[in-house]
A and B are shown apart, each in its own frame.
Chain A
Amino acid sequence: MKRADALTLAFLLLLAGAALFLPWLSLPAPDTMELGDRLIPPQWTQHPILGTDSKGRDLFVRTLAGARISLWVGLLGSFVALLIGLPYGAISGLFGGRTDRFMMRLADFFESVPITILVLFLLSILGEYREELQGLGLSRLHIFFFAVGFLFWLPTARIARAEALRLRQALFVDAARSLGASRKEILVRHFFPNLLPASVVIMTLTIPRVILMEAFLSFLGLGVEPPGVSWGILAKEGLAAMNPLVQSWWLLAVPATALALTLICLNHWGDKISDSFRANT
């Protein structure tokens, strides 16, 4: 298993590095069209190593540009979920009693709504008010982060609450309380720092799900929009380009492989981190 750890970590670091430093690598822009070089299959060893699409754009560059958006969406989307869910769960757990019951029943209410459908609805409505939102400096991507945060805050809140309930019994919280610390002080000085490890676990488990969500929504035309590039968009284009007459399997296979490898690596580390976390408590 040690080798698997190293391999997956190396892959993730390499991908994140390439995505981060993409603008400084001397590669063509992801939307540069070479109309003479359309639909070249992967060459593996020479120039279009992963081939080109129907407009002659280099698929290798586009996949890296897609990684930029997909990883960013995953990271920021789960961060939004954390930002909503963590304080919610912590407050619910700290206050206990009636407040706790009310907050958790509210969470139950949100959980009973099929949220995927709700987000679809939200995105399509907000799409109609795009110009007004742009006036406020909000783009489709911001709306997407908000929607995803809204979608994934519930499990985060539950984990945070469970942790808070455990912390409430802790000796140092008792000590702080007996020294006259207010609830706000306990929350800020004792709860949030101790919720950090749990947050890491939540993040690693949420990021893959957010990336999948982005792909699903982009496929339905509600996520990232062209000319923006994400793995969801690339997979959608690959699916659309498929027909029995012209071979273009790499247009789907390349982004699909990138997506699958990334998610497998992320899931591997997510499981690993949450296992070690569980062992500690």
Chain B
Amino acid sequence: MARGGPFDQERELPTEVLKQLRAQYHLDESILQQYYRSLENLFHGEFGPSFAYRGVSVSDILADALPISLALGFGALLLALLLGLPTGILSAWKKNTKTDASLRTLSSLLLALPNFVLAGLAISLFSFTLEWLPPAGSGGIRHQILPTLCLGLPFAAQIFRLARNEALSALQSAPTRTARAKGLPEAKVLQRHVFPRTLVPIVAFLGPATAGILTGSLVIEQVFALPGLGSHFVQSALNRDYTLSLGITVLYTALLGTLTFFADVLLARLDPRIQSLR
């Protein structure tokens, strides 16, 4: 559908060279043959050679890039959970106080900024002005902090909202009132009656959050010059590197499918009512 081919360049290649290249990448076969070949390779976990990086197979690129993106993505998700959940419960518990108001303002601020703007502001503050952290590139744990923060914070704000809403209704529910009437300490009330309920909407949000983190990483990896899947995905689209593009899409789909599946299973375990809705 997109015009042009992977070997279109400013300088035209001699016909023989082009012919050989096409033969090497099996582009001279019929569409059906090519389709069958790539399908067969796919079932063997092979995506074929990259069109843009000569002599490198797509699997190699994926093997290099996946750990970087996994570390970034899971780091961001973990950060979002660890920040969003406790603050959400705290905010609901201290409803209509200064703490609640400031946390809510912060969350709406984080939700109102695109992540690349957040990244830019963070770089300009922590890297250029305070010179605490490196602005880009990959390396040790210090290189991971800013990208993880910038990718995770908007989701922390989302989780905060979900947790606050659920905790508010949990705090007003009959079991909580009974527990309080029986003289259960506030900490125990939060632990037994509020915390488990807030998990339900958050686990349900994990699927969409994973999808959001995948698209978010496209931008964040570019800004911080991390050689992860996101950067490769954008590059492959620009280079018409079909095999790499396909490989990353398959990997993304598999990741998203797996995580959504686990989220659904977990959800049914957390809330027995969901299981009985068969």
Q: Contact mask A57-70 → B, CB, 8 Å, 1/0? A: 00000000000000
Chain A binding surface, main DSSP class? helix
Instruction: Tell me if B36 is interfacial: C-beta within 8 Å of chain A.
Output: no
Instruction: Tell me if B2 is interfacial: C-beta within 8 Å of chain A.
Output: yes
- Cβ-defined contact, B1 with A242, below 8 A: no
Q: Contact mask A198-210 → B, CB, 8 Å, 1/0? A: 0000000000100
Q: Contact mask A259-281 → B, CB, 8 Å, 1/0? A: 11011100110000000000000
What residue in chain A is nearest B129 (Cβ atoms)? A249
A267-B108 contact, Cβ under 8 Å, with A124-B237, A239-B223: yes
Chain B binding surface, main DSSP class? helix
- Cβ-defined contact, A264 with B237, below 8 A: no
Instruction: Tell me if A216 is interfacial: C-beta within 8 Å of chain B.
Output: yes
Question: Which of B117, B215, B223 has a CB less than 8 Å from the CB of A116?
Answer: B215
- Cβ-defined contact, A267 with B117, below 8 A: no
Q: How far is the CB of B249 from chain A (nearest CB, A)?
A: 8
- Cβ-defined contact, A125 with B2, below 8 A: yes
Q: How far is the CB of A124 from chain B (nearest CB, A)?
A: 7
- Cβ-defined contact, B124 with A249, below 8 A: yes
- Cβ-defined contact, A220 with B2, below 8 A: no
Instruction: Tell me if B219 is interfacial: C-beta within 8 Å of chain A.
Output: yes
- Cβ-defined contact, A264 with B114, below 8 A: no
Q: How far is the CB of A162 from chain B (nearest CB, A)?
A: 19
Instruction: Tell me if B171 is interfacial: C-beta within 8 Å of chain A.
Output: no
Instruction: Tell me if B128 is interfacial: C-beta within 8 Å of chain A.
Output: yes
Instruction: Tell me if B111 is interfacial: C-beta within 8 Å of chain A.
Output: yes
Question: Which of B135, B214, B215, B256 has a CB less than 8 Å from the CB of A244?
Answer: B135
Question: Which residues in window 99-147 of B have CB below 8 A to A?
Answer: 108-109, 111-114, 116-117, 119-121, 123-124, 127-129, 135
What residue in chain B is nearest A214 (Cβ atoms)? B114
Query: Which residues of A lie under 8 Å from residue B120 when comparing CB positions?
Result: 235, 238-239, 242, 252, 256
- Cβ-defined contact, A264 with B128, below 8 A: no
Q: How far is the CB of B82 from chain A (nearest CB, A)?
A: 24
- Cβ-defined contact, A128 with B123, below 8 A: no
A208-B2 contact, Cβ under 8 Å, with A215-B117, A242-B128, A252-B124: no
Instruction: Tell me if B23 is interfacial: C-beta within 8 Å of chain A.
Output: no
Question: Which of B121, B211, B219 has a CB less than 8 Å from the CB of A219?
Answer: B219
Q: How far is the CB of A165 from chain B (nearest CB, A)?
A: 20
CA distance A243 to B128 in the complex (A): 8
Query: Which residues of B lie under 8 Å from residue A120 when comparing CB positions?
Result: 237
- Cβ-defined contact, A260 with B109, below 8 A: yes
Q: How far is the CB of B231 from chain A (nearest CB, A)?
A: 12
CA distance A125 to B175 in the complex (A): 56
CA distance A234 to B194 in the complex (A): 44
What residue in chain A is nearest B2 (Cβ atoms)? A125
A219-B114 contact, Cβ under 8 Å, with A128-B2, A128-B3: yes
A-B contact pairs, 21 of them (CB 8 A): A124-B237, A212-B112, A215-B116, A216-B219, A219-B219, A220-B218, A220-B234, A235-B114, A239-B120, A242-B120, A242-B123, A249-B129, A252-B117, A252-B120, A253-B121, A259-B114, A259-B117, A262-B112, A263-B111, A263-B112, A264-B108
Top 10 nearest A-B pairs (CB, nearest first) are: A263-B112, A239-B120, A256-B117, A215-B114, A260-B112, A252-B120, A116-B215, A244-B128, A128-B3, A235-B117
New A-B pairs, 16, CB < 8 Å, besides A125-B2, A220-B218, A259-B112:
A124-B237, A208-B112, A216-B219, A219-B219, A239-B119, A242-B123, A242-B124, A243-B128, A244-B127, A244-B135, A252-B120, A256-B120, A263-B112, A264-B112, A267-B111, A267-B112
- Which residues of B are at the interface with A, using a C-beta cutoff of 8 A? 1-4, 108-109, 111-114, 116-117, 119-121, 123-124, 127-129, 135, 211, 214-215, 218-219, 223, 234, 237, 252, 256
- Which residues of A are at the interface with B, using a C-beta cutoff of 8 A? 114, 116-117, 120, 124-125, 128, 208, 212, 215-216, 219-220, 232, 235-236, 238-239, 242-244, 249, 252-253, 255-256, 259-260, 262-264, 267-268
